[in-house]
Amino acid sequence: MSGTGHTVKSYEEEMQSLNDNLVMMGSLTESQMADAMAAVIKVDKDSVDKIVKNDGKINELRSVIDNQITTVLVKRAPMAVDLRITISTMKISHDLERIGDLAKSVAKKVKPLPVDLPDELIGSLRRLGDLVQKQLKDALDAYLNKSKDKAIEIWKKDEQVDDLTNLAMNEVATYLQKDKKNLEMATHLLFVTKNIERAGDHITNIAESLYYLIEGEYLEGARPKGKPIES
Amino acid sequence: MELNNSKIKIKAKNLNVFYGKKQALFDINLDINQKEVTALIGPSGCGKSTFIRCINRMNDVIDICKVEGSVEIDGAEINEKNVDVVTLREKVGMVFQKPNPFPKSIYDNIAYGPIIHGAAENKDQMDNIVETSLKKAALWDEVKDRLNEPGTSLSGGQQQRLCIARALSVNPEVILMDEPCSALDPIATAKIEELIDDLKKSYTIVIVTHSMAQAVRVSQKTGFFHLGKIIEVDSTEKIFKNPANKMTQDYITGRFG
Amino acid sequence: MTKEQRLKKRYRAEKRFKMYGLISVSLAVIFVLILVQNIFSKGSSAFSRTMIEVEVNYDSSLLELDSPINQNSLKDADFYDLAVESLLKIYPAKDSKEERQILRLFSPDYEFEIKDFLIKNPNKIDQVVPVKITASDDIDQLNKGNFPRDLPEDRRRVSNYQLNIYDNLVEKEKINKKFNNYLFTKGDSRDPELAGIGGSLMGSFFTIIICLILSFPIAIMASIYLEEFAPKNKITDFIEININNLAAVPSIVYGLLGLGILLSVMEFPRSTPLVAGITLSLMTLPRIIIPCRASLKAVPPSIREAALSVGASKFQTVFHHVVPLAMPGTLSGTIIGLAQALGETAPLILIGMVAFVVDIPSSPVDPSASLPVQVYLWSEQAERGFVEKTSATIMMLLGFLIVMNFIAVYLRQKFEKKWN
pLDDT per residue over B38-63, tens digit each?
A: 999 999 888 899 999 999 998 888 88
In a domain, B88, yes or no: yes
The answer to whether residue A231 neighbours chain B at the CB level (below 8 Å) is: no
pLDDT above 60 (res A222)? no
What burial class does residue B121 get, using C-beta atoms within 10 Å of its C-beta: 0-12 exposed, 13-18 middle, 19+ buried? Answer: exposed
Q: How far apart are CA B34 and CA B206, in angstroms?
A: 10
Please answer yes or no on whether B61 and C308 come within 8 Å at the CB atom. Answer: yes
Q: How far apart are CA B180 and CA B98, in angstroms?
A: 7
Range from A192-206, B203-217, C102-116, C392-406 carrying the lowest mean pLDDT: C102-116
In a domain, B153, yes or no: yes
Strands B92-95 and B37-41: unpaired
Compute how many other C-beta atoms are within 10 angstroms of the C-beta atom of residue A98: 18
| % of chain B exceeding 70 in pLDDT | 98
Among candidates B239, B241, B250 on the partner chain, residue whose Cβ is nearest the Cβ of A2? B250
Chains A and C touch (3+ CB pairs under 8 A): no
pLDDT for A2: 45
Strands B204-208 and B174-178: parallel
Number of H helices, E strands in chain C: 19, 3
How far is residue C193 CA from its own chain's centroid?
A: 17
Strands B204-208 and C48-57: unpaired
User: Residue A3's pLDDT band (boundaries 50, 70, 90)?
Assistant: low
Please answer yes or no on whether B254 and A8 come within 8 Å at the CB atom. Answer: yes
The answer to whether residue A218 neighbours chain B at the CB level (below 8 Å) is: no
**DSSP code for A58:** H
Q: What does the pLDDT average to over A60-88?
A: 92
Cα distances from C354 to residues B168, C208, C277, C375, C378, in angstroms, run: 65, 17, 15, 10, 11
| Chain B residues with CB-CB distance to A8 below 8 A | 254
CB pairs < 8 Å spanning A and B: 48
pLDDT for A196: 92
The answer to whether residue C315 neighbours chain B at the CB level (below 8 Å) is: no
Domain count, chain C: 2
**DSSP code for B69:** E
In a domain, C145, yes or no: yes
ipTM of this model? 0.88
Say if residues C93 and C102 touch (Cβ distance below 8 Å): yes
Q: How far apart are CA A20 and CA A14, in angstroms?
A: 10
**DSSP assignment string, B176-212:** EEESTTTTS-HHHHHHHHHHHHHHTTTSEEEEE-S-H
In a domain, C226, yes or no: yes
pLDDT for C20: 97
Strand order in the sheet with C175-179: C128-134, C48-57, C175-179
| % of chain A exceeding 90 in pLDDT | 51
C65 with C144, same domain: the answer is: yes
How far is residue A217 CA from its own chain's centroid?
A: 22
Say if residues C283 and C251 touch (Cβ distance below 8 Å): yes
The answer to whether residue B165 neighbours chain C at the CB level (below 8 Å) is: no
The answer to whether residue C305 neighbours chain B at the CB level (below 8 Å) is: yes
Q: What residues make up the domain containing C223?
A: 198-415
User: Residue A69's pLDDT band (boundaries 50, 70, 90)?
Assistant: very high
pLDDT per residue over A195-216, tens digit each?
A: 999 999 999 999 999 999 998 8
pLDDT above 50 (res A231)? no
In a domain, C243, yes or no: yes
Please answer yes or no on whether A80 and B240 come within 8 Å at the CB atom. Answer: yes
| Chain B residues with CB-CB distance to C420 below 8 A | 98-99, 152
Which residues, 6+ apart, have CB-to-CB distance to B198 below 8 Å? B138
Among candidates B241, B249, B256 on the partner chain, residue whose Cβ is nearest the Cβ of A7? B256
Q: How far apart are CA B179 and CA B176, in angstroms?
A: 10
In a domain, C156, yes or no: yes
pLDDT for A230: 42
Please answer yes or no on whether B249 and A81 come within 8 Å at the CB atom. Answer: yes
Q: Which of C149, C178, C207 is the last residue of a domain?
A: C178
pLDDT per residue over B200-251, tens digit each?
A: 999 999 999 998 889 999 999 999 999 999 999 999 999 998 899 999 989 9
Please answer yes or no on whether B170 and C303 come within 8 Å at the CB atom. Answer: no
CB pairs < 8 Å spanning B and C: 72
Residues found in chain A: 231
Among candidates C303, C311, C325 on the partner chain, residue whose Cβ is nearest the Cβ of B86? C311
Domain count, chain B: 1
The answer to whether residue B153 neighbours chain C at the CB level (below 8 Å) is: no
The answer to whether residue C414 neighbours chain B at the CB level (below 8 Å) is: no
Q: What does the pLDDT average to over C273-282?
A: 92
Chains B and C touch (3+ CB pairs under 8 A): yes
pLDDT for B219: 94
The answer to whether residue C417 neighbours chain B at the CB level (below 8 Å) is: yes
**DSSP assignment string, C345-380:** -HHHHHTTTTS---SPPSSTTS----HHHHHHHHHT
In a domain, B182, yes or no: yes
In a domain, B48, yes or no: yes
C110 with C230, same domain: the answer is: no
Segments making up each domain of chain A, as ranges:
9-215
Please answer yes or no on whether A77 and B213 come within 8 Å at the CB atom. Answer: yes
Closest-CA distance, C209 to chain B, in angstroms, reads 32
**DSSP code for B153:** G
pLDDT per residue over A119-156, tens digit each?
A: 777 788 888 999 999 999 999 999 999 988 999 999 98
The answer to whether residue B84 neighbours chain C at the CB level (below 8 Å) is: no
Angle at which helices A119-145 and A9-42 pack, to 10 degrees? Answer: 170
The answer to whether residue B61 neighbours chain C at the CB level (below 8 Å) is: yes
| Chain A residues with CB-CB distance to B249 below 8 A | 2, 80-81
| % of chain B exceeding 90 in pLDDT | 63
What is the helix (H) or strand (E) element at residue B17, kind and residue range? strand B8-19
Among candidates C232, C303, C311 on the partner chain, residue whose Cβ is nearest the Cβ of B113? C311
The answer to whether residue C61 neighbours chain B at the CB level (below 8 Å) is: no
Closest-CA distance, A204 to chain B, in angstroms, reads 22
Compute how many other C-beta atoms are within 10 angstroms of the C-beta atom of residue C300: 15
**DSSP code for C193:** G
Q: What residues make up the domain containing B148?
A: 8-252
| Chain B residues with CB-CB distance to A6 below 8 A | 253-255
Q: For chain C, what is the mean pLDDT?
A: 88
C162 with C269, same domain: the answer is: no
User: Residue B3's pLDDT band (boundaries 50, 70, 90)?
Assistant: very low
The CATH number linked to C245 is 1.10.3720.10
What burial class does residue B242 get, using C-beta atoms within 10 Å of its C-beta: 0-12 exposed, 13-18 middle, 19+ buried? Answer: middle
Say if residues C193 and C182 touch (Cβ distance below 8 Å): yes
| Chain B residues with CB-CB distance to C309 below 8 A | 56, 58, 89, 93-96, 167
Contacts 24+ apart (CB under 8 A), B244-249: B246/A2, B248/A80, B248/B224, B249/A2, B249/A80, B249/A81
In a domain, C365, yes or no: yes
pLDDT per residue over B113-134, tens digit each?
A: 999 988 888 899 999 999 999 9
Among candidates C302, C309, C320 on the partner chain, residue whose Cβ is nearest the Cβ of B58? C309
Say if residues B131 and B139 touch (Cβ distance below 8 Å): no
Q: What does the pLDDT average to over C144-155?
A: 80
Q: Could you tell me the CATH superfamily of domain A9-215?
A: Phosphate transport system protein phou homolog 2; domain 2 (1.20.58.220)
User: Residue B145's pLDDT band (boundaries 50, 70, 90)?
Assistant: very high
pLDDT above 60 (res C131)? yes
Query: Is this prediction's pTM over 0.90?
Result: no
The CATH number linked to B171 is 3.40.50.300
Phi-psi region of C158 (alpha: psi -120 to 50; beta: other; left: phi over 0): beta
Cα distances from C414 to residues A92, C328, C329, in angstroms, run: 69, 8, 11
Angle at which helices A183-215 and A148-178 pack, to 10 degrees? Answer: 170
Closest-CA distance, C333 to chain B, in angstroms, reads 22
Which residues, 6+ apart, have CB-to-CB distance to C206 below 8 Å? C273, C274, C277, C361, C363, C364, C368
Please answer yes or no on whether B250 and A82 come within 8 Å at the CB atom. Answer: no
Q: How far apart are CA C202 and CA C276, in angstroms?
A: 13
pLDDT per residue over C44-76, tens digit each?
A: 888 888 898 888 888 877 777 766 667 777 777
pLDDT per residue over C284-317, tens digit each?
A: 999 999 999 999 999 998 999 999 999 898 899 9
